[in-house]
């Protein structure tokens, strides 16, 4: 049985106009010839109940869309009658599980992981810049970074480990933290200049 469109107590005074808008839309749809299908009546009831119970003010259709039980269909129904409605207040495009291959936003900013070689190099460079150094040579930077103890892996090459080639047991045996410098320079976090590089 479809729920009855009766008025409920609104938790936040700021949301009374929005709750009234949902209730009026629900009632007007019930009064149309043929009435309102039971599943749509349940949808509107759930939306109305959750708008009334909302603990945050609902100022736009975007805020309304964040309420549980309010979906794209409800937003479309309320678009013209929403209080202080404007054209830029449309429901956000969702990235549902069915839409594979689409990313929800732009590219994420690169931030080196704590205790990584990249993190240690950046912190060391920052400290040296504060101390008045304008540039550092490769070996200088490697020595200062290893002395800081900020990285869990070695920054410079370890002479006792195998070199890449036929006898290396794994890539970890010859990886050095210096490999991250390419990423740091490509992301614009470190600048290389001169020959030899500084």
Q: Where are the domains positioned within the chain?
A: 13-78, 117-186
What's the confidence (pLDDT) of residue 171? Answer: 57
Q: Could you report the per-residue pLDDT of 181-198, keeping only the tens digit for each?
A: 888 888 888 888 877 766
Q: Could you report the per-residue pLDDT of 91-115, keeping only the tens digit for each?
A: 445 544 444 555 555 678 888 888 8
**145 pLDDT tier (thresholds 50, 70, 90):** confident
Q: Compute the average pLDDT of residues 64-82.
A: 82
The CA dihedral of 136, 140, 143, 144, to the nearest 10 degrees, is: -40
**90 pLDDT tier (thresholds 50, 70, 90):** very low
CA dihedral sign of residues 109, 114, 117, 122: positive
Query: Picking from 49-53, 56-60, 174-178, which range would have the lowest pLDDT averaged per residue?
Result: 174-178
Q: Compute the average pLDDT of residues 125-145.
A: 87
Q: pTM to 2 decimals? A: 0.42
Q: What is the CATH number of domain 13-78?
A: 1.10.150
CB of 146 closer than 8 Å to CB of 156: yes
DSSP string, 92-120: PPP--TTSTT--SSSPPPP-PPTTSHHHH
Longest dimension (CA), the chain: 86
DSSP string, 38-105: HHHHHHHHHHHHHHHH-SS---SHHHHHTSTT--HHHHHHHTTTSTT--TT--PPPP--TTSTT--SS
């Amino acid at each position: 049985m479809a729920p009855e469109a009766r008025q409920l107590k609104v938790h936040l005074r700021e949301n009374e106009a929005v709750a009234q808008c949902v209730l009026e839309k629900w009632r007007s749809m019930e009064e149309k010839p043929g009435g309102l299908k039971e599943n749509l009546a349940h949808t509107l009831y759930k939306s109305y109940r959750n708008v009334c119970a909302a603990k945050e003010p609902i100022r736009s259709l975007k805020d309304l869309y964040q309420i549980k039980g309010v979906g794209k269909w409800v937003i479309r129904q309320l678009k013209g009658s929403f209080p202080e409605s404007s054209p830029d207040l449309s429901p956000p495009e969702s990235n549902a599980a069915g839409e594979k291959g689409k990313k929800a936003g732009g590219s994420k900013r690169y931030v080196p992981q704590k205790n990584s070689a990249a993190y240690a190099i950046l912190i060391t460079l920052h400290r040296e810049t504060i101390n008045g150094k304008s540039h550092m040579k490769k070996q200088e930077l490697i020595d200062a970074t290893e002395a800081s103890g900020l990285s869990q892996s070695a920054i410079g090459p370890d002479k006792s480990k195998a070199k890449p080639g036929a006898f290396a047991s794994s890539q970890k045996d010859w990886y050095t933290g210096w490999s991250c410098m390419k990423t740091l320079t490509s992301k614009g976090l470190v600048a290389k200049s001169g020959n030899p590089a500084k």
